[in-house]
């Protein structure tokens, strides 16, 4: 290897820099770090992902706004707010952010860099998981301070993680479909509307048993209903992995990934 002289230190030499792009993992990590820093600086995103879920947790667990049936209120509300945190990050925040990146040409430019489209998707996935981990820690901590007593065991922890991860994938796929097919302004309106609708009918803070019997089966097939009911069965009642809820979430995940792969427009 040819060595180059150091002009500031006569008599010394160093090898020239190796040509080529950085390793893919390093590129993805750098992009994920950039997206995390951007999110932290965005007050609206912090409001959506952290402040609103915690505020709803405190309000609905303390006041008798909605009857949750038998049992302690916090034991019903806490799993629902964990599900809401997944929706806020994996769906609403991801859809809006990606739609505006697409509008301003950011996705097109990043896709042409060494990061590539697959690296960009991996970076977004890493960002979503990192934010959800922070949300989970915060919500669990606040819930425990409010008196939450979840069933804690190796089985319940593993089952909860499976539900949260599969739920995150399902909502992320749906977010990418919306962001890749609609205009940015339409995505902004639709994502927020879906967030509010699921908050009301998705089993988050209102038990599905409160709805008319004719529509309960449909509501349980929504990803929000499957995620919130699954988390409650594990964390409130100590049930094993709820296969039905996992299958519902997996079906939504498969549908979202397939649809986004087919219809997502990068420009």
The Cα 128–Cα 89 span in angstroms is 6
> pLDDT tier at 99 (50, 70, 90 boundaries)?
very high
pTM for the model stands at 0.87
Q: Using an 8 Å Cβ cutoff, are 242 and 229 in contact? A: yes
Q: Using an 8 Å Cβ cutoff, are 173 and 95 in contact? A: no
Q: Which domain holds residue 168?
A: 23-263
> pLDDT tier at 65 (50, 70, 90 boundaries)?
low
Count: domains in the chain:
1
* pLDDT above 90 for 43: no
Q: Is residue 130 part of a domain?
A: yes
Give me the half-sphere count of Cα atoms (radius 13 Å) on the Cβ side of residue 45: 21
Q: Is residue 9 part of a domain?
A: no
- The values of phi and psi at residue 20, to 5°, are 110, 165
Q: Is residue 214 part of a domain?
A: yes
Q: Is residue 10 part of a domain?
A: no
Percent above pLDDT 90 for the chain = 57
> What's CA 163's distance to the chain center, in Å?
12
Q: Is residue 198 part of a domain?
A: yes
How high is the mean pLDDT of the chain? 87
Q: Is residue 74 part of a domain?
A: yes
Q: Is residue 3 part of a domain?
A: no
Q: Is residue 13 part of a domain?
A: no
Q: What is the pLDDT of residues 128-162, one digit of tens each?
A: 999 999 999 999 999 999 999 999 999 999 999 99
Closest C-alpha to 61, from 46, 75, 43: 75
């Amino acid at each position: 290897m040819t060595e180059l002289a150091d002009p500031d230190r006569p008599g010394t030499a160093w090898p020239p820099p190796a040509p080529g792009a950085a390793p893919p993992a390093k590129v993805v990590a750098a992009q994920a770090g950039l997206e995390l820093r951007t999110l932290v600086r965005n007050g609206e995103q912090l409001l959506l992902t952290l402040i609103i879920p915690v505020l709803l947790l405190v309000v609905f667990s303390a006041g008798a706004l909605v009857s949750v049936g038998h049992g302690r209120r916090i034991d019903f509300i806490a799993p629902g707010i964990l599900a809401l945190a997944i929706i806020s990050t994996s769906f609403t925040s991801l859809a809006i952010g990606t739609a505006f990146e697409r509008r301003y040409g950011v996705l097109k430019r990043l896709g042409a860099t060494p990061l590539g489209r697959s690296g960009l998707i991996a970076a977004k996935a890493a960002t979503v998981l990192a934010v959800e981990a922070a949300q989970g820690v915060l919500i669990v901590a606040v819930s425990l301070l409010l008196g939450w007593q979840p069933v804690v065991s190796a089985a319940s922890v593993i089952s909860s993680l499976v539900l949260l991860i599969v739920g995150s994938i399902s909502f992320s796929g749906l977010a990418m479909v919306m962001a890749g097919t609609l205009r940015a302004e339409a995505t902004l309106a639709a994502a927020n509307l879906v967030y509010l609708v699921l908050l009301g009918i998705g089993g988050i803070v209102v038990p599905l048993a409160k709805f008319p019997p004719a529509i309960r089966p449909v509501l349980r097939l929504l990803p929000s209903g499957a995620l919130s009911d699954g988390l409650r069965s594990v964390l409130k009642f100590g049930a094993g992995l709820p296969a039905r809820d996992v299958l519902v979430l997996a079906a939504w995940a498969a549908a979202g990934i397939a649809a986004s792969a087919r219809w997502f427009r990068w420009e």
